[in-house]
A and B are shown apart, each in its own frame.
Chain A
Amino acid sequence: MKRFLLLTWLLLAAIPARADLNIVIDEGVSGALPIAVVPFKTSGQLPVDVTALVAADLKRSGLFDPLPQDRMLAKPSRPEDVQLQNWRAADVDNLVVGEITQVEGGSYNIRFHLIDVYRGKQVIGYDVPATQNGLRSGAHRVADFVFQALTGQRGVFNTRIAYITANGQPGQRTFELIVADADGHDPRAVVRSGEPLMSPAWSPDRRKMAYVAFDDGESAIFIHELRSGVARELVRKPGINGAPAWSPDGSKIAAALSFGGDPEIYVMNVDGTGERRITNSSAIDTEPTWSPDGQKIAFTSDRGGQPQIYEVDLASGDTRRLTFEGRSNARAQYSPDGKNLILVNLDEQGYRIGVQELDTRQMRILSRGPLDESPSFAPNGRVIMYARQGGQLATATTDGRVRQTLSQQGTVREPAWSPYLN
């Protein structure tokens, strides 16, 4: 956030989130909160409909229900022009008004106010600068501010996602590793290949991407600098080179390698040195994921027969089984606070995304199946993205209330949600 020059411009900007709203969300008891995002006043035509983006972001979160524009009795752009009774009559709790002005050099300033309709007070107000090509990002930032002010949680509208696409018939398929905005906008191919690409993983600083590529009968893990487009081979050994996972500090990669005979979890430095074996079983050990404190790695193993999630303490090597629900569990990821795991659970209803609380071992199923996979946490831990049968992506809130589908032409899979851009 330091990166962007932000000007808080009313004292009320510092007011923390309202407690009553937090309760509604934490308990997940009621529907979305009514909010009105009034069309921002602009001078001339803008390349991006900022207001629509803000409203769409808030709606997509599942926590807000933006009022359609045709039901707005008035369209004020400044707090002093707001007639509170109009909005109370429309049962709107909160109101966003604003104005976008062009500044020199073709940049913009998005000035917005979030108003509590019932208290008649401004909750926050900011000037958000945006470059000519950064209007979308500016709109997402406005939505992030509103989301955080009203929920107390950080928004993820300005984050990105990576995923794999596969197109074409068997024998002549094209695979792409794509990076796009979190709302699916502006997808760009980072890598394209005639052989499978797999397992994209963001570095914690979100500048690099690790992934698996195949060529001529071999697999390898690559590390790709997103800005320069330079890819470096991290490891290419006989057998499997798979499932790369960054340590939280970005200095190490855990991966599944099978050069020793069967797949085991290894940890190595990002330059490929200092390789160290973490697991040792004759079963399949794969799909490592780091705990947020970097002390533990959870992984999938079928050492007990069916695939289940195990956790190894990196310092002591102590290993314990974490999952017991259903027939099998695989491909876990820790939540950003380290308290939960999301994973792929198999039972008679098929493969579905589950979230398991680590302390209580309680599992909740978040998706409907029958072939869901590759769950990935948003950096705020509130929403997950996963892949569904038929090659679509979907999101679900971890409270299970909201699910959405993101589809694209062709097969889309293996979503990976980026960290915040700090």
Chain B
Amino acid sequence: MKGITMLKPIGLMALTAVVLAGCASGDETALDQPATTETQPESSFTTGSGSSYGEAEARRLEEQRAAEAEAAAERSANALRNERTVYFEFDSAELTSRAREVIRSHADYLVANPGTRIRLEGHTDERGTREYNIALGERRAKSVERAMMLRGVAQNQINVISYGEESPVNLEHTEEAWAKNRRVVINYR
């Protein structure tokens, strides 16, 4: 309930409604929400009290919200693009849903920047024979390459190399180490 009392000094009618809603729900997650409520007071206001503003104003708010959403998407795309490694299951070159998200953000960037080139480096864990793992690492890197090309990246922007199990990031012999080592690294050149 502490989080809710913090909102009071703003002292608007609509906010009172929010406070009441918060109290009524009795939901402890309300403690996490003040920040969002504070940054978007207008949106709470419009939804809370109907059409007390003109249509122009509504449009302005709509555009603002779209811009914010776009900025958020941009931020999250940047965050995804900061991820340079995608991980795989044992003896598999299937892309996980997380890997697909990361690959998509890199692919979009590469489509927008056709002069940019990358190297996809495939790796495996230490299980299995070494030359087979070279082949498995290549299969992983190629499945990333294929996903990027399906999104429009040109083949000449992508180089593929497999190091198999020869370049682990974790030298231990544990499940955790193996999970870290089964990867494709996206290397901008």
Point out residues on A near B: beta carbons under 8 Å. 166, 169-170, 173, 196, 198-199, 214, 217-219, 239-240, 242-243, 256, 258, 262-263, 284, 286-287, 300, 302, 307, 330-331, 344, 346, 351, 371, 373-374, 389-390, 413-414
How long is the Cα–Cα vector from A286 to B129 in the complex, in angstroms? 10
Chain B minimum-CB-distance residue to A351:
B127
For A300, list chain B residues within 8 Å (CB): 129, 131-132
Q: How many Å from the CB of A407 to the closest CB on chain B?
A: 16
How many inter-chain residue pairs (CB < 8 Å) link A and B? 90
Q: How many Å from the CB of A349 to the closest CB on chain B?
A: 13
Q: How many Å from the CB of B40 to the closest CB on chain A?
A: 44
Contact A284–B139 (Cβ < 8 Å): yes
Contact A287–B132 (Cβ < 8 Å): yes
Contact B131–A243 (Cβ < 8 Å): yes
For A240, list chain B residues within 8 Å (CB): 134-135, 138, 162
For A239, list chain B residues within 8 Å (CB): 138, 160
Q: Could you list 15 examples of A-B contacts with CB < 8 Å?
A: A166-B166, A169-B171, A173-B167, A196-B167, A217-B161, A239-B160, A242-B134, A256-B135, A262-B135, A262-B139, A287-B131, A307-B129, A373-B129, A374-B130, A390-B173
How long is the Cα–Cα vector from A242 to B162 in the complex, in angstroms? 11
Contact B126–A331 (Cβ < 8 Å): no
Chain A minimum-CB-distance residue to B135:
A284
How long is the Cα–Cα vector from A374 to B164 in the complex, in angstroms? 15
How long is the Cα–Cα vector from A262 to B162 in the complex, in angstroms? 12
Main secondary structure of the interface of B (DSSP, over half): mixed
For B131, list chain A residues within 8 Å (CB): 198-199, 242-243, 256, 286-287, 300, 331
Contact B173–A286 (Cβ < 8 Å): no
How long is the Cα–Cα vector from A170 to B171 in the complex, in angstroms? 8
**Which B residues, 106 to 151, have Cβ-Cβ distances below 8 Å to chain A?**
119, 121, 126-132, 134-136, 138-139
How long is the Cα–Cα vector from A346 to B164 in the complex, in angstroms? 18
Q: How many Å from the CB of B134 to the closest CB on chain A?
A: 5
Known: A217-B161, A284-B136. A389 touches B173 (CB 8 A): yes
Q: How many Å from the CB of A42 to the closest CB on chain B?
A: 45
Known: A196-B166, A389-B173. A373 touches B135 (CB 8 A): no
Answer whether residue B88 sits at the interface, using C-beta atoms and an 8 A cutoff: no
How long is the Cα–Cα vector from A95 to B135 in the complex, in angstroms? 53
Given contacts A214-B166, A286-B134, 18 further A-B contacts (CB under 8 A): A173-B167, A196-B163, A198-B131, A198-B134, A219-B161, A240-B162, A242-B131, A258-B135, A262-B135, A284-B136, A286-B131, A300-B131, A330-B132, A331-B129, A331-B130, A331-B131, A351-B128, A389-B173
For A302, list chain B residues within 8 Å (CB): 132
Q: How many Å from the CB of A106 to the closest CB on chain B?
A: 44
For B163, list chain A residues within 8 Å (CB): 196, 214
Contact A170–B135 (Cβ < 8 Å): no
Q: How many Å from the CB of A5 to the closest CB on chain B?
A: 42
How long is the Cα–Cα vector from A374 to B166 in the complex, in angstroms? 14
Answer whether residue B169 sits at the interface, using C-beta atoms and an 8 A cutoff: yes
Contact B135–A286 (Cβ < 8 Å): yes
Q: How many Å from the CB of B12 to the closest CB on chain A?
A: 56
Q: How many Å from the CB of A301 to the closest CB on chain B?
A: 10
Known: A196-B163, A300-B132. A371 touches B169 (CB 8 A): no
Q: How many Å from the CB of A388 to the closest CB on chain B?
A: 11
Answer whether residue B22 sits at the interface, using C-beta atoms and an 8 A cutoff: no
For A286, list chain B residues within 8 Å (CB): 131-132, 134-135
For A371, list chain B residues within 8 Å (CB): 126-127, 173
A-B residue pairs, 3 tightest by C-beta: A196-B166, A284-B135, A331-B129
Interface mask (B55-89 → A, CB under 8 Å = 1, otherwise 0): 00000000000000000000000000000000000
Contact A344–B129 (Cβ < 8 Å): yes
Contact A284–B132 (Cβ < 8 Å): yes
For B164, list chain A residues within 8 Å (CB): 198
For B162, list chain A residues within 8 Å (CB): 240
How long is the Cα–Cα vector from A286 to B133 in the complex, in angstroms? 10
Chain A minimum-CB-distance residue to B167:
A196
Interface mask (B157-184 → A, CB under 8 Å = 1, otherwise 0): 0011111101111110100000000000
Contact A287–B171 (Cβ < 8 Å): no
How long is the Cα–Cα vector from A125 to B136 in the complex, in angstroms? 55
How long is the Cα–Cα vector from A56 to B130 in the complex, in angstroms? 32
